[in-house]
Amino acid sequence: MARQVLALEARLRPCRNVRTIGVRPNFTDYSEEEVQWIRDAGKIYYPTVFYADLFDSVGKPTFPSYHTYKCVQDKIKQSALFQLAGLPHPRTRVFYGKRQKAKIREYFSYPLIAKEPRGSAMGRGVFLINNETDLDAYTHDRHVAYIQQYLSIDRDIRVVVIGDRVVHAYWRVAAEGEFRTNVAQGGHISLNPVPEAAVSLARQAAQVCGWDDVGMDICCHDGQYTILEANMKYGKEGFRAAGIDYFQMMERMIDDGQI
């Protein structure tokens, strides 16, 4: 008989071997029975950032790992971690305060990439800055500016790592006239073979950073593979394009004890 695991978030609700009880804003909102399930569970699946922190404090394992949750939609932490680990990453700096615009021009020339440092996904909050007018618009009333070297590419590679395995890898090709490769921004998925060097880099980065459920975005620039960013809330379009049933895959990985 397949084992059943406990989840808070609804990401695995379609899985037959996952009991999903939802995310309550107050822990006291859980019933006595649900509280006992949480306490008895060997691991909690998809607990959210808030509860992952609490579970880590009391020694309760989670999937994704606490380390994965620490970097969810936080580009500042991700870049610092890539730099600390010596992983290839576009030249990136964070600028704070009212004098940030002048400092940006000391380190970067146009064009450059500016991003929302926290909370953005699906290509939203990513800006191509071509001139002073664009930079003025980005920095206006902004205390934190996240600036990255512009790489002239028309495609990148999404490598999905779950547990300690690469479960899928595919190309994302930007729409004509668009610098972002995100499917949500008009990009399309290509299932052409992905170079092993990119897959290996994604696997290495996930292991070094302690991430066990992540979509790593990697591109080839000047003959070298480099990590653009990590997405812990990646979409499933690439799985659908390849005919992979994401939920059946997750059921098997749970049954096999891989996650």
The reply to whether 178 and 243 lie within a common domain is yes
DSSP characters over 168-210: EEEEEEPPTT-S---GGGT-EEE-SPPPHHHHHHHHHHHHHHT
Sequence-ordered list of residues with C-beta below 8 angstroms from that of 109, at least 6 positions apart, any chain: none
Is the pLDDT at 224 greater than 60? The verdict is yes
Residue 39 tokens, joined = 């306490």
Q: Looking at 63, 79, 105, which one is the last position of a domain? A: 63
Q: What is the CATH number of the domain that holds 140?
A: 3.30.1490.20
* CA 109/CA 104 separation, integer angstroms: 9
pLDDT in tens, 181-218: 878 777 899 999 999 999 999 999 999 999 999 999 99
- Please state, in angstroms and rounded to a whole number, the distance separating the CA atoms of residues 148 and 13: 37
In a domain, 127, yes or no: yes
Q: What is the DSSP letter of 162?
A: E
CA distance 117 to 107: 18
CATH number, residue 217:
3.30.470.20
Residues 105-139 pLDDT 10s:
999 999 999 999 987 665 578 999 999 999 999 99
Spatial CA neighbour of 219 closest among 161, 157, 174: 157
- Which pLDDT value is given to residue 123? 52
Assess contact for 21 and 253: CB atoms under 8 A: no
Q: What is the DSSP letter of 235?
A: -
DSSP bridge pairs for 119: none
Strand arrangement, sheet containing 18-20: 18-20, 5-7, 44-45, 62-63
